[in-house]
Structure formats: structure tokens, C-alpha cells
Structure 1
Amino acid sequence: MINFILLFIGIITLIFLIVNNILPYLFVFFSKDQDFKKKYGEWAIVTGGSSGIGKSIAHRLASQGISLILISKDENNLNEVINELNYKYYGNNNDNNKNNSNIKFLSINLDFTNSESVKDLINKLKEFELNKILKINDIRILFNNVGFLTMEGFNQTQYDNDKLKMIQCNTLTTTELTDYFYRIWVENKNKIKSKKNGVIIFTSSITGVLPTPFSVMYASCKSFLSIFATSLSLEARYNDIDILAVQPGKVCTNLFNKIPNLLVLKFLDLFQQKPDDVVNIMFRITGRYGIIIFNSGLFAVISNIALSIIGINITNYIAYFISNYILKDYSIYRDNNNNNNNNNKKNK
């Protein structure tokens, strides 16, 4: 009898692991991109839209004839992306997009680590509306993609420096921007016919569910995003608004350009995803199959399965040993940097 019960528990556990981790990928594999313009409308906002996942999102939206407002603090990259979009998708430059003569690509140069950034964005949108470039109520697609990351020990930065910047950019800005558009959509939901009332897609991270040494604030902020999306989705269903949060592992983006080149990151490169891989998920499952959280990439899936089986406490214990290794690796990195700086001073 005991053997039967253990076998039954094992089978149920296996079924849940498959349903939660394998089945969503089958949905992605066998699904095609949804027409966001037909489903949600003609205007979209993409934060962090100048590179990586944001740039890939912009191209996917533009290919569907959706007008875009791209936001980034990197003005040079932002202008480059806008030029690419205009050349590839605007008007008759491309035979496949002959009906895109009305498509518009707007850029706003903003640093979301600034506490006034969303207010500045809203003022800019109102300026666009005043000049009849767009109607704010027509913006029904919001990609909360922007992110800010530093990789250090918790004690190595002041609260009012990178810690606060990460909280501001990764959580407060996203919450404020979501609040602004969510209220508009709810207040005007009866004015939209034959379309969803809106969609909000969050670029979260698998670090949001894992113990993550040396990026404590970043992981905590991503955890907030995932729970925020999950809880908001329950209310959003009543208002016909779709919500999705994607939790990737390491993605080939500029986010990692200015952090230490640790060996653990080189290990994660083995599982690294391309931005298009993440964007495929966003466009194929948003508002479908009851999926609100999606673990993107092999590392994210393995991590989630391991966490489900062994639990958070054992996972945390394993992370402790890994963090001890990272600490040594990070110390070497800092020593090398200090030596280089001292040599530069001598050369001067």
C-alpha cells in the first residue's frame, strides 16, 4: 500500500513538472505569432527599446504595422533603431508593407533610474497628443522591458547609488507606468470594440525565484515584477486586459556589458538565449493557454524544476556554496581592476 501511494505521488509530481515546464514550450513551438495590431490596437510603447529584447520587440511590432514609441537612455542606439525601422517598414520601402504609410516610429530619450522619468514621459505623450501625432487612449500595448543591473556585494554600493537606481528602474518606474495606462484602459474599456482592452508584458528574470548572490537588489526587483504581474492578472481578466511576465535566464543583451566578467557568467553563456527567442514567447502565448508566467530558456526551466523538487531551503544552501566560489572569483576581478588602475596612475 505504501509503495502504491509513493508511486502515485511520484506520478502526480512528474505530471505537474511536465505541465508546468514542458507543456508551455510545446505551445510556443506549435503556435504562430499573434497579430497584436488586430488583437490590441495600432500603438505600442516599448521601454528599453534601443537594444536586445526591446529592439527585437520593436521589429516584431513594426512588422505587423504597429506604430511605436521607443524609450531608452541610450540616445545613439535609440536613433539607430528608429532609422532601421523607418528604412525597413515605413511606407513603400518594403513591398511586404505597402499598407504601412501611416505607421509612425517615435523615440523618447529617458533614463528610468530617474524618479521623474515617468512624469516626463507622460508630459511628452501629452505633447504628442496636443500636436495630433497620436491619441494616448490609442496606446494599448505596453512592454515593460527596461532593466538596470549591477553585480556586487550588497555592502559594496550605497543605498542612494545603484541600489536605489535598481529599485527605481526595475520596479517603481514599471509600476507607475503600468498604473497610468491600466487606469486609462479600465476607464475607457467600453469604447473598444472587437479588440482586447490592452496588454502589458513584463521582462522579468529567473533570478526572481532563485537565491542570487551579488545581484541581491536586481533579483528582488524581478521577484516583485513576477508577483506583481501574477496578482494583477487576476483583476485584469475582469477588465479584458492580458498580462504576461517572461522569466528568462541569461540573454545576449547589453545588460551584462558593464558587470564583472565572472566565470559563473561564462558558465551561464552555455545556456544563453537570443533576444528573438524571448520575443517569440511573448508574441505566441500572451493572452493564451492561461499562462501568466513563462520560464524562458533551458537554465530557467532546469532551475524551476530543481526548485520545485528540492525546495527553497536546500536551493539556498546550494547557492551558498556557489556564492562562496563567486566571491573568490569576484575578489580576483576586483584585485585585477585595482592593479590596472594603479598601473594607469603610475603611467600618468
Structure 2
Amino acid sequence: MFLILLLALVGLVAVVLALLDTLWSPLQLISSYLMPYFLPSEVQPLSKKFGQWAVVTGGTDGIGKNYAMELAQRGISLVIISRNPDKLKTVAGEIEKRYGVKAKTVVADFSKGPEVYAHIEEQIRDIPVGILVNNVGVQYDYPMEVCEVPLSKTWELIHVNVGAVTCMTRLVLDGMVARGRGAVVNVSSGSELQPLPLMTIYAATKAYIQSFTMSVREEYGPKGIHVQHLSPLFVSTKMNSFSQQLLEGNLLVPDAAAYARQAVITLGRVDNTTGYWLHGLQYTLIKIPPVWIRTKIGTHLNRQFRRDYDENSKVKSHVVPDSEIVEDLVNAL
């Protein structure tokens, strides 16, 4: 009888812990949205809480660009890092004109690996970075098996998705610790939740970001640094262009502007979050099945994306240019 009660107690504790682990992030997300309404005195401006300057990697498109805009709207000056000088100039000019803050640009191609960081360090040496948003990332061009991925693409995934988040974090942490405040936001992906066949390397890099972020938080949280793990699910960006046909018009897929608006609200208030309330609900539901089921579902979804991509590629390859049509008509006459 005692053994049965003991096993029942152990089972109950296990269920409660599993529920807390599953629901904790959504509850934090909800509280972060409600706090300004119920506890306005607890909400500090980001510039006062972390500092006047933010660095955003991959800040010329998608989530990165819109996250930078949201920070600028809150009075934060920006260093935007990207590989395209023309886009950098355009985005920086837009930010300065619209929000009246400073916007410095740094041209750097993270796919080049270690060689880019000395240049970045030199460019931000005299800037008291209060917020670092490790947003830069690359995705597969379309779902494919590991041996189909070109070696150059493999290294690009590792250098950008793993190397950038690691090295950029190292660059700014000492300064943040010296000032006794700061925030690091590492943008991961819902693909971290399970192995993801046909996007194997990409998902593995995102699992790295999750592990890295949680470990850095334990090391530097006691030193006054807020380290946030931001894990969006599908967002309508160029990065997911191969899947747009399947995701188009889906209420669960926000555009980058809508996503960034909600994600910035969680900064400094939530440690682990999807950044978007509907993604939070999805994330909670996804975690319920065991990993092997999630992996099978992910495989099925990626095979559908691959079929759609192959089908679209076939259609495009059969489109006859207007010049050829005219030529055929002339020949027929």
C-alpha cells in the first residue's frame, strides 16, 4: 500500500513539474503584456534599464529590421550589422529620419567566419552596448537531406547561426558586466524543439542557440545581464520563402513587423519566449507529444514543403519567355 502511494506521489510530482515547464513561458508572456497596465511603476524604459545603445545583427530585413525599428521607437540608438552596404544605408537613414536616434552601420558578412569579428570589435569599441540582438541567421534554400546540402552552405549555416551568436555575445559581455547592466537577445527558432529531418543542420544550429543562451544566462544573470531566448515559429519573411505557398494567409504566421512589436515588449521581462502570443500557444501544444512524434510530424511537413518547392520549380522551368513565343510565331509564318 505504501509503495502504491509513493509511486502515485512521484507520478503526481512529475505531472506537475511537466505542466509547469510547459506553461511557464506562456504565463510569463501573458504577464509581460499585462504588466504595463497593472504595474506601470515596475516598467522601466529600455534605455534606462539597459543602456542607450543596441546592436542588431541581420538588421536590414525581416525580424531584425523591424526589431531595430521598435527599439528606435523607444529612444534606443542603434548599430546595425549586415553584409549589404546599400540596405544598411537605407535602413539607418530611415531610422534616423523617423525616430531621431543615431544609427551606425557596420558592414560584415558573418558567413566568412572568424575573420569578421576584429572589424566589428573595432567599430563598436567606443560604444556602450546595452542591448545585443543576435538575430542574423540563414536557412536552407529549400528542404533537403544532409548529403544534398552543399559544403559551402553547411559552413554558412554554422558560421552564421552558431558562430555569430557565440562571438557577438563574447564581444559585448565584458562591457555589460563592467557597467552592471545589459541584455542579450538570442533569436532561435521553433525548430529547436526536436530533430528536424530535411532541415537537419539548421535545426541543430537552433538547438545550439537554446543551450548556449540558457548556459550564458546562468553565468551572467547574477552579474546584472538579462539573457533572453527568443524562439519564434513561422514568421512571413524571405527566410521562409520556399514555404510561402503553404503558409500564405495563415493567421498563425505574422509578418515581421507584427512579430517584432510583440517580441520587444517581452525584453527584460521574460527569459524564454516565442515573442508572439499565438506562437506561445503553438509552442505549448507542440511540446505535449513525445519527441519522436514531433520529429515524424516535422518530417512530414518538410516533405510537403519540398514537394511544393519541386512543383513550383517545374512550373517556372516550363514558362516560355515572350521573346521565344514571338520567334516561334515568326517562324510559323
TM-score (norm 2): 0.80
Of 150, 160, 171, the residue aligned with 1:169 is: 160
Matches of 1:324 and 1:43, distance apart in 2:
43
Of 222, 237, 254, the residue aligned with 1:273 is: 254
The residue that corresponds to 2:283 in the other structure is 304
Matches of 1:184 and 1:13, distance apart in 2:
37
The residue that corresponds to 1:144 in the other structure is 134
Q: Measured at CA, do residues 333 and 12 of structure 1 come closer, stay the same or move farther in structure 2, by a change above 3 Å? A: same
Q: Deviations over 1:83-105 (max 9, x none)?
A: 21221222xxxxxxxxxxxx421
Of 106, 109, 123, the residue aligned with 1:108 is: 106
The residue that corresponds to 2:242 in the other structure is 260
Tell me the SS of whatever aligns to 1:245. strand
Tell me the SS of whatever aligns to 1:152. coil
Matches of 2:82 and 2:102, distance apart in 1:
17
1:11-50 mapped onto 2 (5 Å cutoff): 12=16, 15-16=19-20, 19-32=23-36, 34-50=44-60
Counterpart code for 1:260: F
Counterpart code for 1:208: E
The residue that corresponds to 2:331 in the other structure is none
Counterpart code for 1:65: G
Matches of 1:250 and 1:61, distance apart in 2:
22
Matches of 1:184 and 1:17, distance apart in 2:
33
On the 8 A contact 1:111/1:117 being kept in 2, the answer is yes
Unaligned runs of 5+ in 1: 91-102, 127-134
Please report how far the alpha carbon of residue 164 of structure 1 lies from its aligned counterpart in structure 2 after TM superposition: 1.0
> How many equivalent pairs are there?
312
Please report how far the alpha carbon of residue 117 of structure 1 lies from its aligned counterpart in structure 2 after TM superposition: 2.1
Counterpart code for 1:273: P
Q: Measured at CA, do residues 88 and 17 of structure 1 come closer, stay the same or move farther in structure 2, by a change above 3 Å? A: same
Unaligned runs of 5+ in 2: 37-42, 328-333
1:54 lines up with 2:53 in the alignment: no
Please report how far the alpha carbon of residue 146 of structure 1 lies from its aligned counterpart in structure 2 after TM superposition: 1.1
Give the RMSD, CA atoms, in angstroms: 3.2
The residue that corresponds to 1:158 in the other structure is 150
Matches of 2:117 and 2:158, distance apart in 1:
14
On the 8 A contact 2:50/2:182 being kept in 1, the answer is yes
1:1-348 mapped onto 2 (5 Å cutoff): 12=16, 15-16=19-20, 19-32=23-36, 34-90=44-100, 103-115=101-113, 116-126=115-125, 135-136=126-127, 138-150=128-140, 151-153=142-144, 154-159=146-151, 161-186=152-177, 189=178, 192=179, 196-256=180-240, 259-261=241-243, 263-266=245-248, 269-288=250-269, 291-297=270-276, 300-340=279-319, 347=324
Tell me the SS of whatever aligns to 1:310. coil
Q: Deviations over 1:188-220 (max 9, x none)?
A: x2xx3xxx5211011111111134343222222
